Amino acid sequence: MDAAFDIRFEPDGQVYEASGPVEVFLAAAARGILIEQPCGATGTCGKCRVRVIDGAPPPSDADQRVLDPAEIAGGWRLACHLVLDRPARVEVPSAARSAAGKSFGGALDLVGSSRVVQVRTLDVAPASNDNQESDLDRVAAALGLARRDVTASPAALAELRTRLAKTSPVRAAFQANELVAVGPASPVSCFGLAIDIGSTSLAAALVDLTSGEVGAAGSRLNPQVVFGADVISRIHYAGQHAGGTARLTAAVRDGLAALVDELVEATGCSASDVVAAACAGNPTMLHTWAGVNPAPLGIAPYVGTWSGEIDCRAEKVGLPIHPNARVYAFPMIRSHVGADTVSAAVACGLDRASRPTLLIDLGTNSEIILAEGGRYLAASAAAGPAFEGATIRHGMRAAPGAIDAVSVSCDGRVTVNTIGNLPPAGICGSGLVDAVAELLRVGAITPSGLLAAPEEASGRWPGALGARLKPVSGQRAFVLADAASSASGEDVLLTAPDVRQLQLAKGSILAGVTILCGKFGIGVTDLEEILLAGAFGNYLRKTSALSIGLVPAIDPERVRFVGNAAGVGARLALVDQDARARARAIASDAEYVELASHADYQQVFMRSLAFPEPD
């Protein structure tokens, strides 16, 4: 069927007009609906399932492998293998939706800001006997500038000539006084690429360089995961394998290139319409992306190869956009407080905080910045991988099947929620925090971190709860999901050592916060606002974070999740010249505090391990 047809996305009500067979994730992305494909569209994880309400095509092999017959009969399909060639109505459940779209933020206030890239539609005067100025000099004149006040690379000059030979007006993109790209006058939009390179996920958005609006956004697994799940294992890989850095570099660049190709297709623009990029990421990710061996980041004194911003051409980092496009990467504060943190600080306006404001980017390394009136203290707290599910008995990443929320009702019933509503396969960071917070509340975990023994249950908690306390291999444990309901057919447990791991993580962060506050000359309760950033933050319940004392006990109203602020910062730096200046100032002015070498650290850390008394 080659005629045009509509695809309607529910519950949004957005309609995509297809001109032929189309992959559903592209059609959705073109309407701003981002379907996450964590397994890299291999048809294995099942996370991208959508329901085709009308017009469902026959199931794919992947559907038959991953979905059960009832689901298939109900119209469920894996979006990664779904091509639509006729009118359809498609429900995209929230579980399938990528957080990447939100990662790059909503409306930006760009009034009065100076654009990094100026996109202009120019009517270039033709050359004549009376106007023998060169093409580029006539472009300068069209801008009201003097001859030679506009420069251009050979590639841009070639583009200018080719375009002027065909038509005028032309669309010209300038960065500073350089003509970066020349295109047809219509469409008038030029895009920039905002990038957030995470250890696990790559996220990117095409941003209209004039309006600042997101044209399309998406994310995909960082292909580097095959070299190790976390930053440390990648650093080791680079350090211990000949050609390791080159492989890591190729992996992340390939992943970004594939993502860019998708976004370009989704917006219907061409790669040469993408004329700038801005990039955030942690130091290890930026080092490998830039092609620089990250090994020194993994051993004392933990020093990277550069700390300032990067400004290079797209082709230097293998981005398949306009080869002249300039790629900006945020500066870093220190080797473990990187471009992602600075980007988040810009997005959160930390430089404009007139009262003590704390930003915590939660993760294995949790970066902390305390700011007030242009003064900054920064630290990196080694929280360990508990938030990412590692070192936890049944821990897992926030992937389908992970318990991401736990609640305990008045009558002692335990309810768990899993990502994708699948049978529980394990517990991710937010589930861990939730579980501990809820058990603290009902007294099954003490403030010192002791998980109750089965014999204590009697009479204290309703039977349903008490029955879940059962020792495993001599350790106390709590059954979050029993064998009958779990994916593996075995109990999914929270063990006493798991609680201890969470204590260590939260203790590390709280100790960092406490030391920064002390050095700043304030108490933790003087904090005006606490901003929690990072992908993990998206899933965390604020009350649970406060309940376990992950952050100082201040009014919950003053604790705010800012999501993946690094992505928002990248989008800002793409359009707003001022955002780059602000990033530079933050990175330069921030004073780095080495927590581990602080005299009081051990003492403060020990004090920070205890959970708060429940209300």
Decide: is 243 part of the binding site for its own copies (CB under 8 A): no
Decide: is 10 part of the binding site for its own copies (CB under 8 A): no
Decide: is 302 part of the binding site for its own copies (CB under 8 A): yes
Instruction: Count CA atoms within 13 Å of residue 25 on its CB side.
Output: 25
User: What's the CA gap between 303 and 500, in Å, rounded?
Assistant: 31
User: What's the CA gap between 184 and 198, in Å, rounded?
Assistant: 35
- Beta strands 117-122 and 83-84, pairing class: unpaired
Of the ranges 62-70, 132-140, 256-264, 343-351, which one interacts with its own copies (CB under 8 A)? 132-140
CA 163 to chain centre: 38
Q: Which is nearer to its own copies, 365 or 501 (CB)?
A: 365
Decide: is 334 part of the binding site for its own copies (CB under 8 A): yes
Decide: is 355 part of the binding site for its own copies (CB under 8 A): no
Six-digit token string for 246: 């080159």
Decide: is 133 part of the binding site for its own copies (CB under 8 A): yes
Shortest distance, position 355 Cβ to its own copies, whole Å? 29
User: What's the CA gap between 583 and 104, in Å, rounded?
Assistant: 17
Decide: is 311 part of the binding site for its own copies (CB under 8 A): yes
User: What's the CA gap between 315 and 313, in Å, rounded?
Assistant: 5
Phi and psi at 408, nearest 5°, equal -120, 120
User: What's the CA gap between 506 and 431, in Å, rounded?
Assistant: 15
Q: Which is nearer to its own copies, 178 or 526 (CB)?
A: 178
User: What's the CA gap between 279 and 309, in Å, rounded?
Assistant: 10
Residue 367, classed as helix, strand or coil, is: strand
Shortest distance, position 277 Cβ to its own copies, whole Å? 13
Shortest distance, position 576 Cβ to its own copies, whole Å? 21
User: What's the CA gap between 448 and 386, in Å, rounded?
Assistant: 18
Of the ranges 47-55, 80-88, 330-338, 376-384, which one interacts with its own copies (CB under 8 A)? 330-338
Q: Which is nearer to its own copies, 257 or 295 (CB)?
A: 295
Q: Of the candidates 69, 106, 112, 301, which one interacts with its own copies according to CB under 8 A?
A: 301
79 and 24 in contact (C-beta within 8 Å)? yes
Decide: is 157 part of the binding site for its own copies (CB under 8 A): yes
Question: What would the x/- binding string for its own copies be over residues 537 to 576, using CB under 8 A?
Answer: ----------------------------------------
User: What's the CA gap between 62 and 69, in Å, rounded?
Assistant: 12
Decide: is 313 part of the binding site for its own copies (CB under 8 A): yes
Decide: is 307 part of the binding site for its own copies (CB under 8 A): yes
Q: Which is nearer to its own copies, 30 or 314 (CB)?
A: 314
Decide: is 306 part of the binding site for its own copies (CB under 8 A): yes
Shortest distance, position 313 Cβ to its own copies, whole Å? 7
Decide: is 134 part of the binding site for its own copies (CB under 8 A): yes
- Could you tell me which residues come within 8 angstroms of residue 248 by beta carbon, excluding any fewer than 6 positions away? 224, 227, 234, 237, 238, 288, 294
Of the ranges 134-142, 271-279, 353-361, 468-476, which one interacts with its own copies (CB under 8 A)? 134-142
Q: Which 8-state DSSP code applies to residue 80?
A: G
Q: Of the candidates 105, 296, 338, 466, which one interacts with its own copies according to CB under 8 A?
A: 296
Decide: is 272 part of the binding site for its own copies (CB under 8 A): no
DSSP H or E segment with residue 184: strand 178-184
Decide: is 270 part of the binding site for its own copies (CB under 8 A): no
340 and 361 in contact (C-beta within 8 Å)? yes
Question: What would the x/- binding string for its own copies be over residues 164 to 203, using CB under 8 A?
Answer: -x--------------------------------------
Decide: is 131 part of the binding site for its own copies (CB under 8 A): yes
User: What's the CA gap between 556 and 80, in Å, rounded?
Assistant: 40
Please report the DSSP string for 269-320 in residue order.
--GGGEEEEEEEE-HHHHHHHHT---GGGGSTT---S--S-EEEEGGGGT--
Number of residues that bind its own copies (CB under 8 A): 54
Phi and psi at 386, nearest 5°, equal -60, -40
Q: Which is nearer to its own copies, 380 or 495 (CB)?
A: 380
Shortest distance, position 340 Cβ to its own copies, whole Å? 16
Which residues bind to its own copies, rule: CB under 8 A?
A: 127-129, 131-137, 147-148, 151-155, 157-158, 160-162, 165, 245, 290-293, 295-296, 300-308, 310-313, 315-317, 331-332, 334-335, 588, 592, 594, 597
